[in-house]
Amino acid sequence: MISIALLSSSEEKRREISLLLGEIGVLVYGVDNLAGLKEIIGSQNPRLIMVLEENSSFEEIVRETISLFPQKPVISILSSRDAQRAVKLMLLGSEEVLSFPLGKEQLRAALNRAGKLPVVSLSLVPPASLRGLYFYAFFFTALLALGLTGWIIHKHAETLREAQLSQRNSWVLPYFYPSALAFDGENAWVADWFSQSLYEHSTGSWAVKRVIHFPNEMPVSIAVTPNAIWTVDASGKIVRRLKNLSLTPVESYNQVPETTAIAFDGLYLWTYNSATKRLSKRLTDSRLSEVASYPYPGTQATALVFIHNSLWSLDGPDREILLHDINHPDQIISKTPLPEYSNGKYAPTGLGFDGKNFWTVAQSLPAGSAKAILFRHQKPNPL
Amino acid sequence: MRKTVLPRAVPARFLVVSDPSREEDWGRLTGLSSQGAALTSLAPLKVGSRVLLSWEIHGQKFEIEGRVLTAQQEISGYFTSFIFFTRNSDRRKISSFLIDFLSLNIEGASGIRTRE
């Protein structure tokens, strides 16, 4: 059972919060001053300290509590909502700030995270000239290494790898914030929004074959066709690109804002608008003219995939793959749950089909706490 | 990928501009790039909503407008949202700050560290 120290001079408030915390299985040691708090910390060693606001010197009491017990997480509770003061208290060192009226879910979440405050990741993509240098250095080093060692171990490694791959169903990828996944028959493509890059992977080992960086775009969805790659930027801008070494942009479309997922069926481009939660079927003309539009039948489409004549979507919040009725895409033919996500450690962000299996790419929760992961799923029925 | 991290997530305030009935809320930034930020909070955000995000890092204050790209509830109960910065001027401002900040803070200084 988790135990906490609760600092408040009001017996009534201590009782009120103790009751709430008791309901979620927390043992509360109530104290009415700092001397009492010192005694409780020394004798009972509670996991964290909660400090309630009661008078104008609240910030001072919080500051003193943090300086007296720097090893204990401190949660401050304001008597009323005030974002400015909440941030000020966090800057003073409070791990979390809550405010009245308190809810059980709020308390439970704050207690869950106490002592496990996440870090903040800062990222800056290197300038274009250095990117080119890094890319070629990496490319030639990889070529040299492959030339020296690849041929000798090729046959043995291939046999071994095939045996291993047939048993594996998940792979860790070398970046943190994947946003989309697509297959082109030979290779797989994964977009990472944080590094603003598209990674081309070999589907055998999932090694990175090349990285294409988009200096002015944050890719959130991709669709691969035999001759082109379509990307969607976080602003909703859709770009059609040549499938060459640098993925040269051919045409940009700004007419479809709020687009967060796309798929190409061979003739039409399908888009999903996250704000209106609608699927649209579009011509690939200069305005991406809408031919038809349908309400999305799930919670939120994270990715769209076309397989022959069938439209599939990844419902990210519900962790399900949906098969749509192609004549009535607002109706679902089948739902396939993804048990790989049941532990809540990852959130699926991209869906792809390699001709045999569905694959999803996912980012860790809390975001950035672990590298991206790729799951191979059983083929849903009916295909 | 090499990442630079600050040891404590940065406190931030956010106002949902697209929902005037909602009061200003707070959370912490767990990721920041020139294009967007990752925010963790007890209050949920809806995908597509427009927010005004304010925070301070090492004495420099920011007030940036963005759009919620994804929002997920973690197993702890907290919500993690990714906010895309919608104004070019804001992206330039953050980019310039990151260049200065990351180039001035060598590994080990100011509690900053890098990790693979």
Which chain B residues touch A234 with a CB distance below 8 Å? 35-36, 67, 69, 84
Which chain B residues touch A81 with a CB distance below 8 Å? 23
A278 in reach of chain B (CB within 8 A): no
In this predicted structure, what is the pLDDT of residue A29? 92
- Inform me whether the pLDDT recorded for B108 exceeds 50: no
Interface touch B47/A274, C-beta < 8 Å: yes
Interface touch A112/B77, C-beta < 8 Å: yes
Interface touch A122/B35, C-beta < 8 Å: no
pLDDT bracket for residue B109 (50, 70, 90): very low
Which one of B19, B25, B29, B35 makes the best mutation probe of the A interface by having the most chain A beta carbons within 10 Å? B35
pLDDT bracket for residue B2 (50, 70, 90): very low
pLDDT bracket for residue B1 (50, 70, 90): very low
> SS in 3 state form for A149-206?
HHHHHHHHHHHHHHHHHCCCCEEECCCCCEEEEEECCCEEEEEECCCCEEEEEECCCC
Angle (CA) A22-A27-A33 rounded to 5° is 110
Angle (CA) A130-A131-A132 rounded to 5° is 90
Which pLDDT tens digit goes with each residue over B52-103? 999 998 888 999 999 998 888 888 889 989 898 989 899 889 988 888 877 7
Choose the closest CB to B80 out of A194, A195, A366.
Answer: A366
Instruction: Note the Cα A319 to chain centre separation in Å.
Output: 13
10 Å CB burial of residue A169 (0-12, 13-18, 19+) is: middle
Which chain A residues touch B29 with a CB distance below 8 Å? 120
**Distance (Å, rounded) from C-alpha A67 to C-alpha A130?**
45
Give the residue among A309, A244, A299 at the shortest CA–CA distance from A270: A309
In this predicted structure, what is the pLDDT of residue A13? 86
ipTM of the complex: 0.85
Per-residue pLDDT of chain A (383 residues; tens, 9 = 90+): 788 999 988 888 888 888 888 888 888 999 988 889 999 998 988 989 999 988 778 899 999 999 999 889 999 999 889 999 999 999 989 999 999 888 888 888 888 888 776 666 776 654 343 345 455 666 777 788 888 777 777 767 666 665 555 567 889 999 999 999 999 888 999 999 888 899 999 987 888 988 998 888 889 999 998 889 999 998 889 999 998 888 999 999 987 888 889 999 989 999 999 889 999 999 988 889 999 999 999 999 999 999 888 999 999 999 999 999 998 999 998 888 998 998 888 999 999 999 888 999 999 988 888 899 999 997 665 54
Give the residue on B whose Cα is nearest the Cα of A195: B33
pLDDT bracket for residue B116 (50, 70, 90): very low
Which chain A residues touch B1 with a CB distance below 8 Å? 174-176, 195
A125 in reach of chain B (CB within 8 A): yes
C-alpha distance from A265 to closest chain B C-alpha (Å): 25
In this predicted structure, what is the pLDDT of residue B104? 65
Give the residue on B whose Cα is nearest the Cα of A364: B74
A196 in reach of chain B (CB within 8 A): yes
- pTM comes to 0.58
Q: In chain B, what are the domains?
A: 9-88 (2.40.10.220)
Interface touch B30/A368, C-beta < 8 Å: yes
Interface touch B3/A176, C-beta < 8 Å: yes
Instruction: Give yes or no for a contact between A62 and A145, defined as CB atoms under 8 angstroms apart.
Output: no
Q: In chain A, what are the domains?
A: 2-113 (3.40.50.2300), 128-146+165-377 (2.120.10.30)
Task: Kindly provide the b/e burial profile for residues A312-325, where b requires at least 16 CB atoms within 10 angstroms of the residue's own CB.
Answer: bbbbbbbbbbbbbe
A103 in reach of chain B (CB within 8 A): no
C-alpha distance from B106 to closest chain A C-alpha (Å): 13
Which one of A122, A197, A346 makes the best mutation probe of the B interface by having the most chain B beta carbons within 10 Å? A122
Q: In what order do the strands lie in the sheet with A208-213?
A: A178-183, A187-192, A197-202, A208-213
